[in-house]
């Protein structure tokens, strides 16, 4: 799933591509790709990908953009985003003030039921509060 999400933002990457290496280092998880891009300082990266059984290299230059987020990562169940909390940014009010924890299931937001839909939960939460950060993307 992380590859599908990234591929919508990556120049030269297509849905279904598998990212094998970033700057020669083997990719073990999607977090590895995200962390490498975030720490790139905008310097060119070389991605080795597999597409339709063939390997190829693509050079990309991460660019910085401002992003909105609520500091909550939701779990993936099949192709759906569930309303279960998979992770929290520690300094986020959801963790520090509201006391939410990894594994919690969001049932409703401000009285509106979300029916285990993480996208709906994120939308409702972001309407009331979110953080703005700057992040590198490719």
Q: What is the pLDDT of residues 11-62, one digit of tens each?
A: 677 878 888 999 999 988 777 787 788 788 888 899 999 999 999 998 888 8
* pLDDT for the residue 49: 92
What is the pTM for the complete model shown?
0.46
Q: What is the pLDDT of residues 55-76, one digit of tens each?
A: 999 888 887 766 556 677 777 7
Identical topology for domains 2-65 and 67-132? yes
Which residues fall within 8 angstroms of residue 105, CB to CB, at 6 or more apart? 82, 83, 84, 85, 116
Secondary-structure class of domain 2-65 per CATH = mainly beta
What are the extents of the domains in the chain?
A: 2-65, 67-132
In CATH, which superfamily holds the domain spanning 67-132? PDZ domain (2.30.42.10)
What does 8-41 look like in DSSP terms, one character per residue? TTSTT--TT-EEEEETTEEP-SHHHHHHHHHTST
Beta strands per DSSP E along 61-102:
63-69, 72-77, 80-88
């Amino acid at each position: 799933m992380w590859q599908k999400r990234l591929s919508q933002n990556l120049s030269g990457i297509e849905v279904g591509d598998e990212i094998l290496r970033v700057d020669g280092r083997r990719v073990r998880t999607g977090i590895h790709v995200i962390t490498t891009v975030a720490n790139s300082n905008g310097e060119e990266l070389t991605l080795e990908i597999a597409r339709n059984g063939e390997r190829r290299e693509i050079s990309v230059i991460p660019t910085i953009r401002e992003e909105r987020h609520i500091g909550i990562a939701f779990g993936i169940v099949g192709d759906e985003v569930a309303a279960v909390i998979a992770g929290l940014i520690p300094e986020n009010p959801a963790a520090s003030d509201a006391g939410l924890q990894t594994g919690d299931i969001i049932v409703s937001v401000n009285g509106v039921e979300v029916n285990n839909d993480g996208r709906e939960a994120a939308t409702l939460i972001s309407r009331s509060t979110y953080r703005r950060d700057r992040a590198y993307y490719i």
